[in-house]
Chains A and B, each alone.
Chain A
Amino acid sequence: GAVVSQHPSRVICKSGTSVKIECRSLDFQATTMFWYRQFPKQSLMLMATSNEGSKATYEQGVEKDKFLINHASLTLSTLTVTSAHPEDSSFYICSASGGRLEQYFGPGTRLTVT
């Protein structure tokens, strides 16, 4: 149980375009979803926390107009990187929680902006 999927697993886009990443909880209801960013050989940096039906709460230094997060249902959250630039290239990982302590992580999405 507690499976989280992400789609796509890899995406390459041109600079200036927008990219949407989906995060789904497959077998439980995720009241809270988290979005992380991971740079090569570094730790995970929490970008934002979203509760179903509410606006996301962004961590300090994360541009909310650039990284749009939607959590419209208990099984789906999306992260849209708007007007992507090469410096946005990274590994994006989501996690989901059913309102309890544990977070279950998706497999990640590798974004490359050319």
Chain B
Amino acid sequence: GNSVTQMEGPVTLSEEAFLTINCTYTATGYPSLFWYVQYPGEGLQLLLKATKADDKGSNKGFEATYRKETTSFHLEKGSVQVSDSAVYFCALSVLSGGSNYKLTFGKGTLLTVNP
């Protein structure tokens, strides 16, 4: 089956620190990979994605590279801000049932950035 494993939090950093949140996956077929962010009390927002090996997704200073050889999609940011405090979910998507793309999520990592 499909599964996503991401590092457990919570992660607490000071502003301008470097962030890495590890994510590895197992999948049948060739998945697309995503990072979603959830701010308190809200739904999920797509942060970035990559659809094939060696693709790098990037947005708002965050980056992640699709590494097929290590089945990983680690999230990085060089300098975090207080506003980055949120829960981050790694996810994969594969075609299911012939026509639907179903997302499988990791458990989420709570990031708190202190001033």
Contacts and interface: CB of A to CB of B under 8 A. Distances in A.
Interface of A: 4, 6, 32, 34, 41-44, 46, 49, 51, 57, 93, 95, 97, 99-108, 110
Given A43-B105, A43-B106, A101-B32, A57 B97 contact: yes
A51 B100 contact: yes
Nearest to A4: B43
Given A101-B101, A108-B43, 8 more contacts: A32-B100, A34-B103, A51-B99, A95-B44, A99-B99, A102-B49, A103-B103, A105-B44
16 contacts: A32-B99, A34-B102, A41-B110, A43-B89, A46-B102, A49-B102, A95-B44, A95-B103, A97-B100, A97-B101, A99-B99, A101-B93, A103-B101, A103-B103, A105-B44, A106-B43
Interface residues of B, number: 23
Contact of B45 (A6, A41, A97, A105): A105
Contacts of B57: none
A104 B44 CA distance: 8
Most buried by A among B43, B46, B97, B108: B43
A108 B42 contact: yes
B107 interface: yes
Nearest to B93: A101
Contacts of A51: 99-100
